[in-house]
Structure 1
């Protein structure tokens, strides 16, 4: 719904029926979201529609930097300002709801955003969001009523408070979910680097494999969200190496048959470390750790899977890992030249690798090489 300014009183206020419809519609949609950005956008639109504001912004507190920020503000991109600055800073510091008729007449007004955007703020409502523990996590801010006077009323303030009470709990839930996901990402990256460091690899190896996996996944046709998931978990592909003896991991010469059998255990070990998690990230990481050494013709390990029995994530990570390993100097070999690497991949179509993914590798080679240069070990 896009409200249209109208000078008649009926057009400038929502009926109770309209308010209920907006609340029920938006709270149902907000409650189904797992993305913070999606929730913030829905909340901003909900507030704007409820009180017929020209603009509505959802502010959050970034305690690490001592700032307030928003990535969802009608008419502008991300805004950041000091924690105690402006009307919104006053509200989150004091917990006070604000109804300001003339922003420029109030000394608390921070007009920096007006100057930057050319917008003219008249009337403002600011309502803090309170979390389950009573702490303030952010604030709603509505700007300029869609009337000729562009001034909000006490009724508008009460309605925005109502919107905050309905949407605030969902906001806190999604913020907690994203914090958990961010923590998982950090753990996965760190553990991946630990696994590689055991075999004298650099952290850049796991970064390159992650980026290659994303490029290959998108090139194969996976949605960006799924490709991003694979990018996040691929650094854990060799986590099982933490249990392999240094004498085997860092042996400068060719491994004996017995040593190779011991090395092969890292795929099963990595899987067993990760498989019991109920978290999507770690469950996906378990698949990658388990299957990235399987081969299309069934001669890989540890399960001897064949063709599409191998999960797509394992097939993609296998190409990303082998491409980077061959192009990197290791304790047991020199780096291969690019032409030799590409010849090997083309020879191994439908033997070691899924031929369709080899085609994607060839198609996406410029992007792959750009990543290799960006995260060079030199």
Structure 2
């Protein structure tokens, strides 16, 4: 975006006629009604506003009252941004419960200080040229301001937003408040589920005197591997959420076996293997998709591509892809970590083993994805190392 210039003459459009406006509203209303992922709802809302009033950019801002910030994951042309809740024109509109309507940002005196703290400062950083601006707050069902729509630069010959544009964006903002409130509630429920699942995974690991950092790293590795294998963002997120539960069955394994410093006897090893059955049985009867997926991961992450794993000795693609991915993520982290029964392996030794076990312990495609994603995996390992997280906890 650096040195980007806004050239209205190169992309002139016309305002929508009534029939086109209805089509846009009904089209987006149907899409938004069927969407529950917050990021996607935000994008659809931004796209709807931009099309309705024919603007170059549209941003849906949400108010985070806990942090006193305004944030958006969707700003056309920009990444996620967070600003103080009083900053810029959006902060002014939200704080004062007032819509803002500006024809030319660079000649406007009324909001000059807010423009210099917002749009114009961004222009200086990016080279973008802000001219016309519309900002309209929106509310939740209790009447509380929960965010604002911001539109930048009209793409018609007039280059200025009209009273009719204000009406249309006000309509969109009214709909946004209700739609986003529902999406935020769904997001809160999902985040709570993720937290519960992660904490349950930590409980399983803490029984074997390992830290929750292990389940965090395995989750991140699994996510990267899923993306490397071409899975959708949604499916990769699902695996990231459920892989921390892979060893939940350890909660029922005796400490004498779980934390034994030496080699397990055959009988002890059979007892240890039972954690896969226990985890599966704990989770399998849930009607929730997340927990059903976690059951599969818990059951199959110790199966091997060559059929010599446990608990069932299944092989190849009979092993669910989630189990195959979690297997290599778990082994990579386990080998690279110090345990009561072994020292940590160095990276070269682990990589050599993975090459040797391609097509034996591990699915060849997953091994290939692992090496492809290795730089990102190593960044995760450093970011969530036991030492790094301990340092953060002390700050």
Which 10-residue stretch deviates more, 15-24 or 142-151? 142-151
Correspondence 1:300-315 to 2 at 5 A: 300-315=309-324
CA shift at 1:321, angstroms? 1.5
Task: Structure 2: state its 5+ residue gaps.
Answer: 1-7, 388-395
1:312 CA drift (Å)? 0.8
Which of the numbers 35, 38, 52 marks the counterpart of 1:36? 38
Shift of 1:251: 1.3
1:357 is matched with: 366
Within 2, Cα distance between the matches of 1:211 and 1:187? 17
**Rounded Cα–Cα distance in structure 2 between residues aligned with 1:132 and 1:317:** 42
Which moved further from structure 2: 281-290 or 339-348?
Answer: 339-348
How far does residue 234 in structure 1 lie from its aligned partner after superposition?
Answer: 1.7
- 1:1-378 to 2 correspondence within 5 Å? 13-93=15-95, 95-99=97-101, 104-107=108-111, 110-111=114-115, 112-113=117-118, 114-118=120-124, 123-146=132-155, 150-338=159-347, 340-342=349-351, 344-361=353-370, 364-365=373-374, 367-369=376-378, 371-377=380-386
Is the alpha carbon distance of 1:152 and 1:348 closer, same or farther for their aligned partners in structure 2, counting shifts above 3 Å?
A: closer
Change (3 A) 1:231 1:74: closer
Shift of 1:225: 4.1
Shifted more, 119-128 versus 277-286: the winner is: 119-128
Instruction: Assess, with a 3 A threshold, how the Cα gap between structure 1 residues 74 and 276 changes in structure 2: closer, same or farther.
Output: same
- The TM-score, its normalising length taken from structure 2, stands at 0.80
Tell me if structure 1 keeps the 8 A contact 2:262–2:341: yes
| CA–CA separation in structure 2 for the residues paired with 1:255 and 1:140 | 62
Classify 1:343/1:146 alpha carbon distance in 2 versus 1 (closer, same or farther; 3 Å): closer
CA distance in 1, matches of 2:365, 2:121: 53
Worse overlay, 150-159 or 103-112: 103-112
Q: Deviations over 1:284-338 (max 9, x none)?
A: 2221111111233434333333322210110121122123323332212233455
Deviations 1:46-91 (A, max 9, x none): 2232223343321111222101123333454444333234543344
Question: Take 2:180 and 2:236, find their aligned partners in 1: how far apart are those partners?
Answer: 26
Query: How many angstroms apart in 2 are the aligned matches of 1:54 and 1:218?
Result: 32
Aligned to 2:393: none
Indicate conservation of the 8 Å contact 1:295/1:306, yes or no: yes
Q: d(CA) in 1 for partners of 2:122 and 2:87?
A: 16
Distance 1:195 1:120, change over 3 A: same
Kept in 2, the 8 Å contact 1:274–1:282? The answer is yes
Q: 1:51 to 1:246 in 2, by over 3 A?
A: same
Report the more deviating stretch, 243-252 or 222-231.
222-231
Which residue number corresponds to residue 4 of structure 2? none
Contact 1:291 1:311 in 2 (8 A): yes
How far 1:236 sits from its partner (Å)?
Answer: 1.7
CA RMSD of aligned residues (A): 3.3
TM-score, with structure 1 as normaliser: 0.83
Do the aligned residues in 1 keep the contact of 2:92 with 2:114 (CA within 8 Å)?
Answer: no
Unaligned runs of 5+ in 1: none
CA distance in 1, matches of 2:181, 2:218: 34
